Structures are given as structure tokens and as C-alpha cells.
Amino acid sequence: MELNPHDLIRIYNQDDLLTDASLPEWAVSALVHAPYAVVRRAPSKNGLIPVGIRGSKKNERLPAWLISSVVYEVISPEMLVSPLQWKIKQHELNPSILSLKSITPILNQEKLYWGPTGSTAFELATGIKTLTEESDLDLVLRYNNPLPVAEGLSLLDKLNKEAGVRLDIQLETPLGGVSLAEYVNSTTVLVKTLTGPMIVDRKTLWSKLDHVMTFKQ
């Protein structure tokens, strides 16, 4: 089974989650209402999947580990591009979701591997209200090959002009995730790797390293 950061995994039994301490009350409640965890960026260990549990508040986030043999359903950001996968009512669309609909033709025309993440993805996948009127739209773009800076800058400009909310776009590379805005504006970038954040020259994001991730395509 291949998993990537930002994938959502449906949890069928809270006992399948391993944490350093007992689940806090907010986490238990969150899993009852929306039994999902998100794959986080960390090395797997002993067959366990690194995941995160989210509550209704921004400070309610908990790292955990999930037994891989009990995974029954995975929802990737790419799957949530299609409204057919959404578990929300069309007449209750938040500005972030309306912006997602507006920019979808641009990204599909570019033939990219992409999808919504964060609160937008969680609400679309679960039907649980998590977005506010002020929420950003989080996106991930996956690139196994180097993205020309000029091409990235042009794409970012098109998306910002079309979206009605602030965009937070992460460019996923074999080395890790980096802000698209930072990538197109700076030769050195902060990249989130499996082992932690590091500052690198943007040209090294596609270096062929033994331990880096590649993406399903």
C-alpha cells in the first residue's frame, strides 16, 4: 500500500491508534464524529503509519501511529478534486470550496497531480463542518520532475487571480514539501522532509536520494 502526506485514512477502531499517552478527551470526541486521521510527514516504523488526529480547534492536533493492516479506506487529495467524492451539501459551499471549484479548470488543464488538503479536504471528505468564512484554501501539487520557476510563477499568478480566498499551496517534491510561493521567489527554500525541516537550494529538491518519497501517478 502506498501512502503520501495529506492522505486521509478512515479509522474503524480507536484502539488501532498508538500514542505516547492516552487519547485526550477532544481526540476521542473528534474520532467519534469523524473517524479519520491524516498521514503526516514522518518515517514509518515497525509497519506503523505516522498519522495526525485533528479536533475542532487549531491547537487540537495530536501525532499518532496507525497499524497498517487495519487500513480499509484511503482518501487522497487527488480524489477530492471531483465533486462526486464530496460529502457536503452543494447549497452550503464555503468560500474556500467555491474557490476550489473556480481554480479546478486551470489545474486540470495543466494536467497536474493535485488536490485540496487541510480543513478543506477534511470537510469535503467527511461532511463535518470545519471551514470558516475566513479559511484559506490549502492545496498540494505533486511533481516528480523539476518545475521550471517561470512556469510555477505563471501558475501561481493565474490561481491567485481566480481564487476568492488566500491560497496556501504546497509543492511536493521527492525531497519533501515546499511552499510554491517561496519556491518561485527564492533560490533557497524551507523544505519539510521525512526527518524534519531543512533549508536547501531549490535546485536540490529533485536530487536522487535513496530515502526520498516518490508519488503515485
Q: Which of 136, 157, 168, 201 is catalytic?
A: 136
Q: How many residues does the chain have?
A: 217
Report how far residue 111's alpha carbon sits from residue 187's, in angstroms, rounded to the nearest whole number.
26
Catalytic pick among 15, 20, 138, 201: 138
- Give the Cα separation of 66 and 154 in Å (integer): 39
Quick check: is 136 catalytic?
yes
Cα separation, 66 vs 17, in Å, equals: 5
Contact of 120 with 137, CB cutoff 8 Å = yes
Q: Please say if 138 is a catalytic residue.
A: yes
What's the grid cell of residue 97? Answer: 470550496
Which residues 6+ apart lie within 8 Å of 3 measured at CB?
Answer: 9, 39, 49, 74
Residue 61 near residue 37 (C-beta atoms within 8 A): no
Q: What angle do CA 71, 126, 40 make, to 5 degrees?
A: 50
Beta bridge partners of 188: 201
Residue 178, beta-bridge partner list: 171
Question: Which residues participate in catalysis according to the annotation?
Answer: 136, 138
